[in-house]
Amino acid sequence: MKKEGTVFSRRGFIKSSLTAASSVVLLKASPTVPVADASAAENPAAPAYEPRYFTAAEWAFIQAAVDRLIPSNDDGPGALDLHVPEFIDRQMDTDYGHGARWYLQGPFHPDSDFTLGYQMKYSPRDMYRVAIAGIDGWCRREHGQSFAKLDAATQERVLGQLEKGEIVLPDMKTNEFFIQLLANTKEGYFADPMYGGNRGMGAWKMIGFPGARADFMDWATQYDTVYPLPPVSILGEKG
């Protein structure tokens, strides 16, 4: 995403992310989502986050993948800068991660179009587990090493193949997994930092979003005017 023509551009990502706003709001309202350690957010020297759900190999894949989806560049911080992998890992232990509200009973019609909705047996956490193992195995066969160990250009090509469904796995629709991965990456990038991502409200600062301020409606119709105040998180942290 470092330039137009690769898998993504930051400009295109920001535009497409507007459609994910409702998902971020739902995450902010859910009482079951674990809250990040506030001391870690305030102390940059705090110990590195240890994943609660993902294995070491899965964690390496997640970090490499989100770094390609939203790399750091002159436009703003990247997914790793804003701790997006931590957000995704924390989500795996919630009702969302367990697919508590998803219909996961057959019969399934995986080759149908999207009019039938989600057509796999996997909850989000199971999808990550099955897909990462399959993709890493495919990368070893095709490129000689796991996804996380590939160079950046090859990683971007693999992500492009996943997006198009060109990588075929026996138990996983790879384009569905790509949709899941990209959606969770966007959510972690823009969600309130109490959920682990958007560390320091870096994404909000980049786009001029006021966050959880009680009143900013006076500015809602002032187009082409930069909002003058820093963002505020749900827990009262100021950006």
What size, in residues, is the chain?
Answer: 239
Burial of 139 (0-12, 13-18, 19+ CB in 10 A): buried
3-state secondary structure of 172: strand
pLDDT recorded at residue 43: 52
Burial of 15 (0-12, 13-18, 19+ CB in 10 A): exposed
Q: Is the pLDDT of residue 3 over 80?
A: no
pLDDT recorded at residue 38: 40
What string of DSSP letters covers 67-120? Answer: HHHS--BTTB--TTTTTHHHHHHHHTTSTTTTTTTS---S---TTS-GGG----
- Alpha-carbon distance of 192 to 119, in angstroms, equals 30
- 59-113 pLDDT, tens per residue? 999 999 999 999 999 889 999 999 999 999 999 999 999 988 877 777 777 676 6
Residue 170: asked if its preceding bond is cis (omega within 30°), the reply is: no
pLDDT recorded at residue 239: 77
pLDDT recorded at residue 26: 32
pLDDT recorded at residue 29: 31
pLDDT recorded at residue 226: 83
17 — pLDDT class (breaks 50, 70, 90): low
pLDDT recorded at residue 220: 80
Lowest mean pLDDT among 75-89, 137-151, 210-224: 210-224
- 33-63 pLDDT, tens per residue? 444 444 344 455 567 899 999 999 999 999 9
Radius of gyration of the chain from its Cα atoms, rounded to whole angstroms: 18
pLDDT recorded at residue 12: 54
Q: Is the pLDDT of residue 181 over 60?
A: yes
As given in the structure block, the two tokens for residue 50 are 């240890």
- Alpha-carbon distance of 188 to 79, in angstroms, equals 8
Neighbours of 55 (CB within 10 A): 12
Chain-wide mean pLDDT for the chain?
Answer: 82
pLDDT recorded at residue 1: 45
Q: Is the pLDDT of residue 177 over 70?
A: yes
- Alpha-carbon distance of 55 to 230, in angstroms, equals 37
